[in-house]
Chain A
Amino acid sequence: MNLFSRGIRNAFRNVIRTSSIIIILALSIGLSIAMLAAKQAVQDKIATVKQSVGNTVNISPAGFRGFEGGGTALTSDQLAKVSKVSHVISVTQMLSDRLDSNTTNLQSAIEAGQLGQRFGPGSSDTQPQLPTTDSSSSSPGTGTNTITRSFTPPVTITGTNNLSTTAAFNGNSAKITSGATINASSDENVALVGKALAEKNNLSVGSTFTAYNTTITVKGIYDTGTTFGNGGVVVPLATLQRLSSQSGAVTSATATIDSLDNLATATTAIKSALGSDADVSNSQDVASQTVEPLESVKKISVFSLVGAVAAGAVIILLTMMMIVRERKREIGVMKAIGASNAKIMGQFIVEALTLTILGLLVGTLVGIAAASPITKTLVTNSTTSSQSQQFGGGPMGAPGSNAGSRPVGGPAFRSIQQTSRQTLQNISASVGGSTLALGAGLAMLIAILGSAVPAYIISTIKPAEAMRSE
């Protein structure tokens, strides 16, 4: 029998009280472990998302809103400045244009559909047609007129100097399913054609089509897996600039930076180099915007963790204070028969540790069971709420306006956002060794904090009290 065995045995002097304390402590410690796991899972997810979006800087003409217009095209000279910025390892340039019946013999692979009909006057394959009003279906003044428009979406042609970027394929990854790729840095009249467009126009490798009164040869057919992505044409940048009479013009560019660590510095330097002529944003901005809900979940988990630890410490504190008060006379007797304050404190700390360790054991099971559901619930609630706020307004399909809070543009960035948002939902928390070790450390902290005040009370108890009769 020594200090440790007495401390452990004392923890079970009142079995009902001990069981109750262990259950309450287990809930507190379990919540702490669940919150630690949630924080770790969220932190890992944030790192994954930020890593996955890469180290790129998006550059577009200031005020540019895609085919809705706005802004003045960037020039090759401006982008040459970007290439010279420190840490920039490459600059992918793109020029986008739309081909209508006046400029190509291609038929769009995409039907306008009901949504497209709303943009009727935007079609240019024929003279814009005025909406037809079917007066028979409504009475004047009722406001229920049926509007019918005739609209065919144009064919998008993209010129790029780098085919490895997804931006050239409307933000999608493309696979050459037939033929070969083109040399993006050449000035040849060659093209890659989307699978759907090729099927619509009976094109195959070696076929030709007309654009800008020039015959262009199909070198390859690509597949992006999306209807929209498969409806375009991709040509070398210089070719499109020449054919569309937009020499040196660029509608978007993506600068690749040597490392994530230099992304912020390089972004600032690019902004400085281009001044007010361009809107510059980096992929981390998009990622940060996307992982904003996770940041709030992280904060919630930290606050909950602190709260749970504090609650555990208070539980132990009150329990030990109650026990010390209850055994005040016994403490006095122990002092009278030769126990030092340290010995008595040690015995009570062992008792507190015993309760805490038992609480930790049960709490670990609670934490393991609760970690994933709690994390999923927090993340789902946060991301749903955040997305409804972000997409609450703003014109559909307007490039660069999908963020709601701040404009970041380009198909590449829309793709990053979509991917990142999807990965956010696929989160699961697991209680690993490090989380358990941290949880055990927190439990010890709870025991020590909870024992501190009772230990002080012990040191102030005068043994003379033991001599006085009850």
Chain B
Amino acid sequence: MLQVNNLSKVFRSEGGSVTAVDDISFSVDDGEFASIVGTSGSGKSTLLALLGALDSPTNGDIIIDDRTITGLRDRQLVDYRRKTIGFVFQNYNLVPNLSAVENVMLPMEYAHVPASERRKRAKKLLEQVGITDEKLQRKPGRLSGGEQQRVSIARALANKPKLILADEPTGNLDSENGTMIFDLLHKLARSEHTTILVVTHDLDIAGRTDRTFKLKDGKLQKK
């Protein structure tokens, strides 16, 4: 499903250059729940940004479902992010003045899903992650961290993406909520047959995924 070939990312500045991702190659199968572990600054988030087409690599290719996304035009990248990728962020990144259900509807609007279907599907997804009733209309500020992350997961699933990229999804949560979120992702990966790639520094969490890649100083270590 996902094929990464000799991927590198070098950040250049006046003070010199930093290689955040250094010649990485790996692949993830369709429907697999994989994790990337590494210490802070190891290049995990940069790798995730490259896979999500949020940043462009210095070298190398990213191939998803036989389609090379490196080198796509801006408009094609927007379309790729819209239809193929779902993001789950460490700090949830929900739009603060939109309700839970509106936050989940947002990616569907960008993907031109008819208005009548958006709300129905958003509610169904939120129910799946355990957000129901009056919480549907609550704004992020009135939801707990765990609830916000659940909304974030529902939002990531809104356009039925083939690949969910989760950046430290449990990083801001206590262990109970963290486990619950992880289990939720795991369950969705199975039920929706969605490929999930989780970046984490929590080895326990990583140990529960199908496969773990270890990053150190931008290089992929053998497991």
Please give the residue numbers on chain A whose beta carbons come within 8 Å of chain B beta carbons, in ascending order: 1-3, 6, 9-10, 13, 329-330, 332-341, 343, 462-464, 466-470
Which B residue's beta carbon lies closest to that of A338?
B82
Task: Give residues of chain B (23-62) contacting chain A, Cβ–Cβ below 8 Å.
Answer: 45, 48-49, 52, 54-55
* Most-contacted residue by chain B among A2, A329, A464, A466 (CB, 10 A): A464
Instruction: Name the B residues within 8 Å of A337 (CB-CB).
Output: 81-82, 87, 106-107, 110, 155
Chain B's interface size range is 20 to 34
B177 within 8 Å of A (CB atoms): no
Question: How far is A462 from B81 in the complex, measured between Cα atoms in Å?
Answer: 13
Given known pairs A462-B55, A464-B49, A466-B89, the reply for A338 and B97 (CB within 8 Å) is no
Of all chain A residues, which has the CB nearest B50?
Answer: A464
Query: 27 A-B residue contacts at CB 8 Å?
Result: A1-B98, A1-B102, A1-B106, A1-B109, A2-B109, A6-B98, A330-B95, A334-B106, A335-B78, A336-B52, A336-B93, A337-B81, A337-B87, A337-B106, A337-B110, A338-B83, A338-B111, A339-B78, A340-B78, A462-B54, A463-B49, A463-B54, A463-B55, A467-B45, A467-B49, A467-B89, A469-B90
What's the least CB distance linking B66 to chain A, in Å? Answer: 22
Interface assignment of B19: CB less than 8 Å from any CB of chain A? no
In the complex, A338 Cα to B45 Cα: how many Å?
19
Q: How far is the CA of A334 from the CA of B89 in the complex (A)?
A: 12
List, in ascending order, chain B residues with CB within 8 A of A467's CB.
45, 48-49, 52, 54, 87, 89, 167
A466's closest neighbor in chain B, by CB?
B93
Q: Which of A13, A333, A341, A464 contacts B93 (CB 8 A)?
A: A333
Shortest Cβ distance from residue A14 to the other chain B in the assembled complex, whole angstroms: 10
Specify which chain A residues have a CB less than 8 angstroms from the CB of B109 in the assembled complex.
1-3
Residues of B within 8 A of A463 (CB): 49, 54-55, 81
Q: Which of A333, A467, A470 has the most CB of B within 10 A?
A: A467
Q: Which residue of B lies closest to A462 (CB)?
A: B55
In angstroms, Cα B155 to Cα A244, docked, is 107
Residues of A within 8 A of B115 (CB): 2
Interface check B209, CB cutoff 8 A: no
The complex places the Cα of A330 from the Cα of B115 at a distance, in Å, of 23
B75 within 8 A of A: yes
A350-B63 Cα distance, complex, nearest whole Å: 38
A-contacting residues, B73-120, CB 8 Å: 74-75, 78, 81-83, 87, 89-91, 93, 95-98, 102, 105-107, 109-111, 115
Does more than half of chain A's interface fall in helix, strand or loop, or is it mixed? helix
Q: How far is the CA of A470 from the CA of B49 in the complex (A)?
A: 16
Taking a contact as CB atoms closer than 8 A, the residue among A1, A3, A334, A469 that contacts B105 in the complex is A1
B159 at the interface (CB under 8 A from A): yes
Are B89 and A338 within 8 A (Cβ)? no
| B78 / chain A contacts, CB cutoff of 8 Å | 335, 338-340
Nearest CB on B from A327, distance (A): 9
With A334-B106, A339-B110, A343-B110 in contact, do A466 and B75 touch (Cβ < 8 Å)? no
Q: Please give the distance in Å from B116's CB to the nearest CB on chain A.
A: 13
Residue of A nearest to B94 (CB): A333
In the bound assembly, the distance between CA atoms of A30 and B93 in angstroms comes to: 40
B39 to chain A, nearest CB (A): 15
Collect the chain A residues with CB atoms within 8 Å of residue B106's CB. 1, 334, 337
The answer on a CB contact under 8 Å between A338 and B159 is yes
Measured CB to CB, the closest approach of chain A to B170, in angstroms, equals 14
Q: How far is the CA of A2 from the CA of B105 in the complex (A)?
A: 10
For A466, the chain B residues whose CB sits under 8 A away are: 54, 89, 93
Contacts of A1 in B (CB 8 A): 98, 102, 105-106, 109
Give 9 nearest A-B pairs by CB, closest first: A338-B82, A338-B110, A464-B55, A463-B54, A464-B54, A464-B49, A333-B93, A337-B107, A467-B49
Contacts of A469 in B (CB 8 A): 90-91
